[in-house]
A and B are shown apart, each in its own frame.
Chain A
Amino acid sequence: MPADFISSLFVFILAAFLGFELIQRVSPLLHTPLMSLTNALDAIVVVAAIIIAGRHKTHVSTVLGLIAVVASFSNMVGGFLITDRMLHMFKSTKAKKQ
Chain B
Amino acid sequence: MSPATLQQLIDFSYIAAVIGFILALKWLSSPVSAMRGVLIGEIASAVAVAATLFDPQVTHYKWILIALIIGAGIGVPLGMVKMTAVPQRTALSHAFGAMSASLIGIAEYYVGTPHLSKFEMAEIGLEVIIGSLTFTGSVIAAGKLQEILPQRPITYRGQNIVSLSVLATAVILMIILVFHPGYTHLFTAMVLVALIFGIMLVTPIGGADMPTVISLLNSYAGFSAALLGFVLDSKVLVVAGALDGASGFILSVIMCKAMNRSFTNVLFGAFGQVQTSAGKVTEERVVRSATAEEAAAILSAANKVIIVPGYGMAVAQAQHKVRELFDSLTKRGVDVKFAIHPVAGRMPGHMNVLLAEADIPYDKMVEMDEINGEFPQTDVALVIGANDVTNPAARNDPSSPIYGMPILDVDKARTVMVIKRSMATGFAGIDNPLYYLDRTLMLFGDAKGFVGNIVRELSGGAA
Contacts and interface: CB of A to CB of B under 8 A. Distances in A.
Interface of A: 1-2, 4-5, 7-9, 11-12, 15-16, 18-20, 22-58, 60-62, 64-93, 95-96
B402 interface: no
A69 B83 contact: no
Given A7-B235, A27-B31, 17 more contacts: A20-B249, A23-B247, A25-B26, A34-B28, A35-B248, A38-B218, A39-B90, A46-B100, A49-B103, A52-B104, A54-B60, A64-B106, A68-B103, A68-B107, A74-B72, A75-B96, A90-B362
A15 B352 CA distance: 28
A45 B108 CA distance: 14
B103 A65 contact: yes
Given A37-B25, A41-B41, A42-B244, A72 B100 contact: yes
A28 B218 CA distance: 16
A80 B38 contact: yes
A43 B242 CA distance: 13
A15 to B, nearest CB: 4
* B-side interface mostly: helix
A72 B361 CA distance: 34
Interface string B345-386: 001111011001101011111010000000000000000000
Contacts of B17: 44
B238 A15 contact: yes
For this complex, into which size category does the number of interface residues on chain B fall?
35 or more
Contacts of A66: 63-64, 67
Contact of A28 (B21, B44, B348): B348
B64 A54 contact: yes
Contacts of B100: 43, 45-46, 49, 67-69, 71-72, 75
29 contacts: A11-B242, A15-B242, A20-B249, A23-B25, A23-B250, A23-B251, A28-B340, A31-B348, A35-B349, A39-B218, A42-B97, A42-B221, A42-B243, A43-B45, A44-B21, A46-B100, A47-B51, A54-B59, A57-B111, A68-B99, A70-B67, A71-B99, A74-B71, A75-B93, A75-B100, A77-B76, A78-B77, A78-B93, A89-B359
B186 interface: no
Interface in B31-49: 31, 34-35, 37-38, 41-42, 44-45, 48-49
A82 to B, nearest CB: 4
B111 A61 contact: yes
Q: Which of B14, B34, B238 neighbours the largest number of chain A CB atoms within 10 Å of its CB?
A: B34
A91 B361 contact: yes
B110 A60 contact: yes
Contacts, number: 370
A23 to B, nearest CB: 5
Contacts of A84: 35, 38
A1 B119 contact: yes
B146 to A, nearest CB: 16
A8 B75 contact: no
Among A38, A53, A67, chain B packs the most CB atoms within 10 A around the CB of: A38
B29 interface: yes
B107 A37 contact: no
Contacts of B93: 36, 39, 75, 78-79
B119 to A, nearest CB: 6
A71 to B, nearest CB: 4
Contact of A64 (B70, B103, B117, B242): B103
A73 B68 contact: yes
Given A15-B243, A42-B244, A68-B103, A87 B58 contact: no
A81 B80 contact: yes
B78 A64 contact: no
Given A15-B243, A75-B97, A93 B79 contact: no
Contacts of A16: 242-243, 245-246
Contacts of B79: 77-82, 85
A52 B63 CA distance: 12
Contacts of A27: 29-31
Contacts of A1: 119
B58 A54 contact: yes
B64 A35 contact: no
B312 to A, nearest CB: 18
B246 A20 contact: yes
A32 B104 contact: no
